[in-house]
Structure 1
Amino acid sequence: MDSSLPVTTAPVLPPLDLDVALLTAELLDIHSVSDHETLLADAVEEALRALPALSVQRIGDAVVARTEFGLDSRVVLAGHLDTVPLPTVPGARGTVPSRWEPATGVGTVAAVPADGDVLYGRGATDMKGGVAVQLALAGLLGRDAGPRPARDVTWVFYDHEEVEAARSGLGRIARQAPALLEADFAVLLEPTDGVVEGGCNGTSRYLVTVPGVAAHTGRSWRGVNAIHASAPLLTVLAAYEPATVMVEGLDYREGLNAVRIHGGTAGNVVPDSCAVEVNYRFAPDKTVEQAHEHVYAVLARAGISPEAVEVTDASPAARPGLDHPAAAAFVAAVGGVPMPKYGWTDVARFSELGVPAVNFGPGDALLAHADDEHVTAGAVRACLGALRRWLVPESDGR
């Protein structure tokens, strides 16, 4: 099949008691690049509605399922359905459909892969491995005569995480049905290599416009080259030394980078405008407003005034909150030493809603969006086991 094209037939997920590694592969095979999540959302909704112990609601391409056991506390398990676009590099392995490769590099993968066997495909780490874990837990707790968890659970599967924040399906739920997100604690199953990652950096984006004067390149002295005039800005950004900021015992690394540049209209015209896109990743000791002030101060070193800067996107950071009793209990249950989350994740949205949240999921975050994006069968199974032990304490996690 042509992996660059979306699937157009309605997919059906297998029973959710399927081995979670195989379930991950099934999810990878459903194309769900941002703006194309509907078919996957349909499949997830159908699978969840078949579970008698769950109530299910659909809001756009976001699906929410809940147990209603009347327990003393409630937790949210959240994950996004969309992926970034497919690789365009010839021979890239992180495509659709997925493919298994044996851990040894030789032979073939058995019908049930070994823990070390590797699953390649777009979204393997970010974050269909985590979504498979969510679904497996829903299949366990939502079935007839399933085990009773220690706390009620809300599952949130949402669209448009990989694009601008205003389009987020989680944000849509927060606006249209905020009661669905009420909880004592939340776990976002973003890839963390099976380690709890507290909080997250914030992110803000800016468009810096540098003016010039157009002229024919044969008489370039009559113009002012806007691309050349952007050199002081690029020099300042190249020399910028990002900070490492400790927040509640975790070290968050910041970053300020030019990420895109636009300028020029023709091969024989001195450009009269140059636009530089800038991204700032800031530690959770700062608000969005403080992040803006910091960026303006850095840009001022290049002679850039705030009037020349347009804020195009901004999402707040989230403090770790690992001292919260629910977070501390979760860390104790799943083990390991907590780490900071350097990227932005939707724990920040839960933090704004007053719900303490952490990141915990299968796969190496450094492989997210990579041309060889992959996850091991063992990593997905281990994450499922840890969450099962936490939710159903008498369980052995298998």
Structure 2
Amino acid sequence: MDEAVELARELIRIDSVGGGEAAVAEPLARRLSDAGFAVRTHAHAPGRTGLIARWGTGEPVTLTGHLDTVPLGGQAWRHAPHGAEIDGDRLYGRGSSDMKAGVAALVVAAERHVRRTGPKAALEMVFTVGEETGCEGAADMVAAGLVSRSRALLVAEPTANRVLLGHKGALWLEATTRGTTAHGSMPHLGDNAIYKLARVIGAVETFDPGVPEHPWLGPSTVNVGTVRGGINVNSVPDLAAATIDLRTVAGQDHGSLRERLQAALGDEATLDVLVDLPAIWTEPDDPFVLALVEAGAGAPGDHPAASYFTDASVLAAACGGGPTVVCGPGEPEQAHVTDEYCLVHRIEDAVEIYTAALGHLA
């Protein structure tokens, strides 16, 4: 069996749902160390260890993926979620597409790259924790100064081996309103926080993000995702809150956007930042994009952006703001689903694509 497929199976068998990434990092650190990489681990929290591996001199190409996976959900699985079963061309298991197959393909391609004859590009492998909950591990690595400036950044999130040129950003906020509690039979003695929040939600619904639609990423959007408030039916609520999901496009400043929203809401609500991840975009004629396409990756096409955000939102600036591309063997539609799978042949193809692209860059 192809070694990248076998490595993907090894990683899928390790339960890293919402934590436990240290057990996933261990075999990767061992392999990369054996291949000649200088490996450094970084503990984000107990049991939650990512790693950075560096090979060669000069400005590297950065290859990245995350080691955590999302929960299994309440629906029964037909294939054991950590069994790494292969049925025909499908490798089943939580994380198969999102994104342990991509991590495995990166590692095997890196091993092959350093063994090749002729010129070689310097490499930096960055494997993170906590991506699924807001790119926490990547932010921790950047804050610790562990991520190097690089020539280009490749994120192996699931794209079915098609080149995607970026993704929208995410600014998640919590709007909180406050009042004064009183007995529900005497509401005039209180100050109802839920009424205030209702007015805030109405203002959010009509809020204009204030930027033109991006030609490829589309419009900047806003959505209220959750609402909570009150303690019981016969009391005037003194606290209420709603979460707001703003999706942003390249060049949109999150600080200014938050100020505009606060002005629209007025004094009735305070805004707290939950997640702040900028948009990513690379032009389709960038040499890094062309190298991947020439190596066999699918061209960006008419829908060249990912619908999800990635660690690139955190890592791209630390890497120097160079070209950033998302390209991985997983199936995008399989991310987070019951009986998640990745096509075996895409894992094998991804290794060839990455290896050839690194050769072009060298």
SS at the partner of 2:280? coil
- When residues 290 and 177 of structure 1 are mapped into structure 2, their CA distance, relative to the original with a 3 A threshold, is closer
Residue 376 (structure 1) aligned with residue 348 (structure 2): no
Residue 203 (structure 1) aligned with residue 176 (structure 2): no
Distance 2:352 2:179 in 1: 60
- When residues 288 and 41 of structure 1 are mapped into structure 2, their CA distance, relative to the original with a 3 A threshold, is same
Larger relative contact order (Cα-Cα within 8 Å, sequence gap ≥ 6):
2
- When residues 219 and 294 of structure 1 are mapped into structure 2, their CA distance, relative to the original with a 3 A threshold, is closer
Q: Which of these residues, 257, 262, 276, is aligned with residue 314 of structure 1?
A: 276
**In the alignment, what sits opposite 1:65?**
53
SS at the partner of 1:156? strand
Q: How many residues align?
A: 350
| TM-fit CA distance, 1:187 | 0.5
**In the alignment, what sits opposite 2:262?**
296
**In the alignment, what sits opposite 2:292?**
330
After TM superposition, the score normalised by the length of structure 1 is 0.76
Distance 1:287 1:95 in 2: 44
Q: What letter is aligned with 2:149?
A: E
Distance 1:340 1:199 in 2: 5
**In the alignment, what sits opposite 2:110?**
138
| TM-fit CA distance, 1:232 | 3.1
Unaligned 5+ segments in structure 2 are 44-48
**In the alignment, what sits opposite 1:283?**
249
Distance 1:366 1:241 in 2: 30
- Regions of 4+ moved over 6 Å: 240-244
**In the alignment, what sits opposite 1:49?**
33
| TM-fit CA distance, 1:275 | 0.7
Distance 2:178 2:218 in 1: 35
**In the alignment, what sits opposite 2:82?**
97
Residue 174 (structure 1) aligned with residue 142 (structure 2): yes
Distance 1:55 1:148 in 2: 21
**In the alignment, what sits opposite 2:46?**
none
Residue 214 (structure 1) aligned with residue 184 (structure 2): no
Distance 1:306 1:289 in 2: 20
Aligned CA-pair RMSD: 3.1
**In the alignment, what sits opposite 1:254?**
220
Distance 1:135 1:388 in 2: 10
Distance 2:175 2:121 in 1: 49
Q: Which of these residues, 291, 294, 308, is aligned with residue 343 of structure 1?
A: 308
Distance 1:232 1:374 in 2: 44
Residue 38 (structure 1) aligned with residue 5 (structure 2): no
Q: Which of these residues, 62, 83, 101, is aligned with residue 76 of structure 1?
A: 62
Unaligned 5+ segments in structure 1 are 1-16, 102-108, 394-398
- When residues 351 and 277 of structure 1 are mapped into structure 2, their CA distance, relative to the original with a 3 A threshold, is same
SS at the partner of 1:262? strand
Q: What letter is aligned with 1:284?
A: A
